[in-house]
Each structure stands twice: as structure tokens, then as C-alpha cells.
Amino acid sequence: MLVVVMLLFIAPAAAAVICLLAPPAVARASTAICGAACLGLVIAVLPTASRHDLAYWGFLRIDALSVVFLLATSFLYAAVAVYSIGYLVHDGAHADLGDPGFTRYSRRFWAGLNLFAWAMLAAPMMSSLALLWVAIEVTTVVSALLVAIEDTDGAAEAAWKYVLIASAGLGLALLATIFAYYAGAQVLGQSYDLAFSPLLRVAAHLPHAPVQLAFVLAVLGFGTKMGLFPVHTWLPDAHSEAPTPVSAMLSGSLLAVSFYAILRFYQFSAVTLGPRFPRDVLLVFGVASLLLAALYLFGQRDIKRLLAYSSVEHMGILAIGVSFGAPIALAGVLLHVLAHAAAKGNAFMGAGVLVRKFGTKQISAIRGGLDLLPWSGPLFLLAVLALGAMPPFGIFRSEFEIVEGGFASHGNAAAAVLIIGVTVAFFGLAATTTQMLLQPRAVTAGPGHPPNSAPLTRGEPSAWMVIPVAVGAVVLIVLGVHPPAELTDLLARAVRELSGAA
């Protein structure tokens, strides 16, 4: 196992170095291979981690909870690496750059993508709250550069807002980490290094006030990166202005990794304070995020902003799910992390194809997608249905479990709000998507529509941009219809860890 974990920790960083030095063809190949390899390595760790925790060299620690997040991240890493081969061609979008400019752009892109994946894979492997914070701060700065990479006015604005708001949030999260150290040091002595295992062992004896403070600061601080209302404001900007492969990773795994950090704080706070306080805090943020995002889904004009608000909605669902606290709800939350990564990755990648085809992000200009894109059109429709929690997709199963857990733990009102919010969000998402896919293209250019000089022909821009989406759709169906037994064992163990029973 040591070799597997070591490779998982080193491979993406090595790929990033290769991308900086090697020509673009090698960069493409090594990123795709590294993404697939990381997914394979995580799957190799999976059976062991669902039996016992792994710890190496003092700073690496993998338990069932980490593997859930590693799985989501590595899956998206692999999918996005393949997708980017088709995305990053020398096309109209970068015609102004010229050949050397495009080479420089793609070198930065590939190296940044690998570094970003590395930081996100490293975060769930860290053994202590301090190192977890550092890894998440690294994800912020690397992804901020990736958001800025397009070098447009919008990208510069989005990147600045993102790095400033997220860093300020992480400043609060650092304060939370310091107070967690203070609480731990009261019991474990001054040389305590913020590792999870000893903290969990003594969690019942920690002083209350600092733990309360640490938990609220952590939810607010890491919640900024996770996109919880009211500190989500950077999220739609960054998601809409970043290159599409980066948007997919931001939405599917970056938000999830920040949620992982909140779960680590929840894990010990729930033991120290009793479940009531942390759950109430998460419920407030979760309900606010869900309702606000569900309403914002109506009337969006930009396809990527639409999907970004859908992410805020799903992060709200995760927070509400944890606030229910019942084991079935927690299992639903962890399954939701995986299913959301696959569904949102698919939706962003599908949207990327639409944007490429129509040459615009404006929803009003995208019409008749189903006719023009024989594969990506239906796949995008499936991804949106999956995001709206339609059966037989994974999100249906996970949200069903969360709602069931809500009723089981007497959170009837919250469960009802959850159902209403999800339904509203579904209608918002579905209304816009059907317009884009099903409504026929207007023959004459109306006001606000650019006149279509050349009629678009039926066909896919690139096969590379279809394959990962098709795989993602299969994964979503498998998660919804019959999750593999190994995965169910893993989730069960992670739920026991979260409820303090393992």
C-alpha cells in the first residue's frame, strides 16, 4: 500500500513538471495517463481503506472518508484530462495568440491542471488540520491562476475576486485551525501537532468555547471555498470565466474538498459539543444556500453561471444532509459527493461542447443543440436530468437517502424545505436546458441575437470531448441503480467514522 499511496501523492506533481518541460503532445499524453493512473491508484486503495486506516511518514493518513473525496477528485481529474485534449486545440478562441503564444498558453494550462489536481488529491491525504489547511490554500492559488489563464477582462476580474474572497475566507479557516490547536493543546499538551487521530481520541474532553469558535469559523472559512451562501459570491464568476475543464474540476472536486475540511471539523466538534450545535450551524448555511441558489437558477443568461449556481444548490444539500446526522443521511451525503462530481463534471463538459459549437456562452443564442450535436446534446440533457435528481441516476439515490435520513431524525421541516428547494431548482435548470436543446434555431436573427453568418452543421467538435462524458453517464447510472459492494462498504465505514463510532 505504501507504494500506491506514495505514487498517488507524487504522480500529479511529476506530471506537472513534465508538462512544463516537454512539448505539448507529451504534456497531453502524460496528463491523460496520470489522470487515469491516479483513478486506478485510488481504486486500488479503496478495499484496504474500507477495512482500516492507513498512515505513513506522519503526514499522510488515509481513511474511508478521505477515499470518498479522493475518488471524486481522481475521477474528475481523469475525465478532464481526456476532455482537455479535445478542448485545447488551436481554434478560433486563441487565434490571436499565434503559434508560440498558443504553445505557451497550453504549457501553462497543462502544468496548472496537474498542479491543481495534485493539491486537491493531497488535501484529503493530509494527517492534520494544519496541513489540510495548507493544501486547500494551495488549491486556491493554483486555481486562481487557472481562472486568469484566458487573459480576458472577465477572467482577470473573476480571478481577482476569487483569490481575494477565497483567501480571506481561508484566513478565517486558519483562525479556526489555531483555535482547534488551542483546544487540543489543553488536553494533549503544547507539542500537539493538530493531527486528527489524537484529537478524535480526546474529543470528549476538549474545552467547549474554543471548539465552538473553531467550528463556526471553519464553516464560514472553508464554506467560502465550498460556496455556501452568503460567502459564495466568487463562485459563479470563477466558474463562468475559467476554461471549461477547470470549471468542471472547480465545481466537482474543489468545492467537495473544502466540504471535506468542514467534515473533519464536524467530526471532532460533534463529539465535544454534542451533535446539536454543529448540525444547527450547518442547517442554517445549507438551507440558505439551497433556497438562494434554486431561485438564481431562473433567469440566468450565461450557461456556465447557470451550472455554477447549481453547484451552490448542491453544496447546500450536502450541508443539510450532514445536519440531519442520521447514518443513512450521512451515507447519502457521501454518495452525493461522488454523484455530484460525475454529474456536474458531465454538465460542464457538455456545456463546453455547446459553447464551442455555438461560439457563445449566452443561453439565448444556443438553440437546437439536440439536432446539431448527435452525442453531446443527449449527454448534456442526461447530465442535467441527473443534476435534477431524476432516477435512475446517482443523485436520485443520494438525495433520497438524505431526505429519508431527515424524516428519520425528526427533521421534517428541513426535509420538506429540501424537497421544495430541489424541485424548484430542477424546474429552473430544466426550463433553460430544454430551451437550449429542443427549441429550433430561429431562421432570422432577432434583436440581441448575432446573425448566423454560416449555418452550423450537425456534428461533434471532437471525439475527445464526448468519451469522458459518456463514461461519466455510465458511472451516474451505476451509482443510481446498483452501487458496487466495495463502494457501499467504503461509505458505511466513512459514515461510522463521521458518527464517531469507528
Partner 1 sequence: MAGAAAVAAPSVFSGTANVIAVGVLLVEFGMFRQALLRGQVRLYAAQSTLISVLAVVVAAARHLPDLYVLAGLSFALKVVIVPVVLRRLLRGLGARGEGPGWTDIAGSGSLSLATTVLVAIVLAAFGFFSVAALGIHSPVLPTTALAVSVAVVLVAFVLMIMRRDVASQAIGFFSLENGVSLTALVVAAGLPLILEIVFLFDLLVAVVVFGLLIRVHHGRAESLSTADLTRLRG
CB atoms within 10 A of CB 448: 8
Minimum CB–partner distance for residue 75 and partner 1 (Å):
27
Interface with partner 1 (CB under 8 A), residue from 171, 198, 359, 500? 171
- The CA distance from 175 to 422, in Å, is 34
Contact range with partner 1 by CB under 8 A, out of 85-93, 177-185, 197-205, 269-277: 177-185
Does residue 288 bind partner 1 (CB under 8 A)?
A: no
Does residue 301 bind partner 1 (CB under 8 A)?
A: yes
Tell me, rounded to whole angstroms, the distance of Cα 367 from its chain centroid. Answer: 28
Strand partners, 61: 55
Question: Smallest Cα–Cα separation from 344: which of 300, 301, 299, 314?
Answer: 314
For 178-294, strand residue ranges (E) read none
CB nearer to partner 1: pick between 128 and 323: 128
Interface with partner 1 (CB under 8 A), residue from 33, 43, 44, 160? 160
3-state SS string over 404-426? HHHHHCCCHHHHHHHHHHHHHHH
Of all helices (H) and strands (E), which one includes residue 169?
Answer: helix 153-188
Contact range with partner 1 by CB under 8 A, out of 16-24, 155-163, 248-256, 435-443: 155-163
Does residue 277 bind partner 1 (CB under 8 A)?
A: no
Contact range with partner 1 by CB under 8 A, out of 34-42, 60-68, 172-180, 428-436: 172-180
Minimum CB–partner distance for residue 54 and partner 1 (Å):
22
Of all helices (H) and strands (E), which one includes residue 223?
Answer: helix 208-226
Whether 493 and 502 have beta carbons less than 8 Å apart is answered as yes
- The CA distance from 431 to 457, in Å, is 25
CB nearer to partner 1: pick between 36 and 141: 141
The CA–CA distances, whole Å, from 149 to 227, 242, 361, 437 equal 22, 8, 18, 29
Contact range with partner 1 by CB under 8 A, out of 9-17, 25-33, 174-182, 264-272: 174-182
| 3-state SS class at 488 | helix
Strand partners, 139: none
- The CA distance from 198 to 490, in Å, is 23
Minimum CB–partner distance for residue 216 and partner 1 (Å):
12
Does residue 134 bind partner 1 (CB under 8 A)?
A: yes
CB nearer to partner 1: pick between 192 and 268: 192
Give the per-residue contact string, 89-128, with partner 1 (x = CB under 8 A; - = no).
---------------------------------------x
Contact range with partner 1 by CB under 8 A, out of 40-48, 88-96, 182-190, 411-419: 182-190
CB nearer to partner 1: pick between 413 and 431: 431
| Alpha-carbon torsion, ordered 43, 44, 46, 47, to 10 deg | 130
- The CA distance from 373 to 468, in Å, is 16
Interface with partner 1 (CB under 8 A), residue from 43, 174, 200, 284? 174
Q: Which residues bind partner 1 (CB under 8 A)?
A: 128, 130-131, 134, 137-138, 141, 144-145, 148, 151-154, 156-161, 163-164, 167-168, 171-172, 174-175, 178-179, 181-182, 185, 189-194, 209-210, 213, 236-237, 240-241, 300-302, 305
